[in-house]
Amino acid sequence: MRLSFVVPAYNEEAYLPACIESILAEIRGLDVPAEIIVVNNASTDRTREVALSYPEVKLVDEPRKGLTHARQAGFNASTGELIANVDSDSRLPQGWVRRVLDEFETRSEMLALSGPLVYYDLSPARSLMVRVFYGLGWLTYAVNRHVLRVGSMVQGGNFVVTRHGLERIGGFNLAITFYGEDTDLARRLAQVGEVRFTLGLKMFSSARRLKKEGILTMAMRYSLNYFWTIFREQPFTREHIDVRERPVSQG
């Protein structure tokens, strides 16, 4: 079962190396055909050069800025049966690939698998708040999926989707630029197959957005956009703050 990693990257020269190296560490030693696709999404720093410095990486340039444009461009360039979507400020924990493959081999009808983010640069107290939020999120997911049957749940930056599942729903929703893109994907996929969210599939990621906007603000914003997208089929929030460091000018 071939695995394609798609990594959208906009001005991520500082974070991208650790992400790529964590993927390489996971696929080395495993008898699994895999590819890594980095999508340079209109970057103005050295993101493109960083990606090209890794011979194992396939670079795709997507000039249309936006997360869904980048994800779709990566999917279009991919060749795997499974498409792993990983954010460029994230890092795969040991055993992530094996867990993914085992889940898809066990659940032949599953179209997508996702799990929570664990923030490696967050204080213990704030990390506890995030775990509580994910616990409540899992309960909401369970009710929506099994009781109300109105959708499912996918964590952007830590999800794997089958090629035939994405093709069946027409790919990513390019009308959504950031908030709600993962919920919209889960909602549409759940209409045609199984979408599973498990707390056991963790992904390490940076907490820079939480630090910039605040945990409670982000929790409310994500919750509002989740329910708005599930029940009204579009996100409530149209804009988002760019939390990336500005590239250092040369000269």
Provide the CATH number for the domain around residue 13.
3.90.550.10
Question: The pTM is what?
Answer: 0.92
pLDDT the model gives residue 250: 37
Please check whether residue 40 lies inside any domain of the structure: yes
**pLDDT band at residue 202, thresholds of 50, 70 and 90?**
very high
Strand, helix or coil for residue 180: coil
45 and 22 Cβ atoms separated by less than 8 Å: no
Alpha carbon distance 244, 47 (integer Å): 12
Q: What is the DSSP letter of 201?
A: S
Please check whether residue 208 lies inside any domain of the structure: yes
**Alpha-carbon torsion angle 13, 244, 93, 203, nearest 10:** -150
Q: Where are the alpha helices (DSSP H) in 47-180?
A: 47-52, 67-77, 96-106, 124-142, 163-169
**pLDDT band at residue 29, thresholds of 50, 70 and 90?**
confident
At a CB cut-off of 8 Å and minimum separation 6, what does 210 contact? 119, 122, 126, 130, 218
Please check whether residue 36 lies inside any domain of the structure: yes
Which of 76, 101, 227, 235 has its CA nearest to residue 166?
A: 76
Please check whether residue 143 lies inside any domain of the structure: yes
Please check whether residue 141 lies inside any domain of the structure: yes
Alpha carbon distance 77, 110 (integer Å): 23
**pLDDT band at residue 251, thresholds of 50, 70 and 90?**
very low
pLDDT tens, 146-199?
A: 888 888 999 999 999 999 999 999 999 999 988 999 999 999 999 999 999 999
Please check whether residue 241 lies inside any domain of the structure: no
In the chain, the number of structural domains is 1
* Distances in whole angstroms, Cα of residue 50 to Cα of each of 100, 186, 249: 27, 32, 17
| Crossing angle between the packed helical segments 215-232 and 124-142, to the nearest 10 degrees | 10
* Domain interval for residue 180: 3-232
pLDDT tens, 138-147?
A: 999 999 888 8
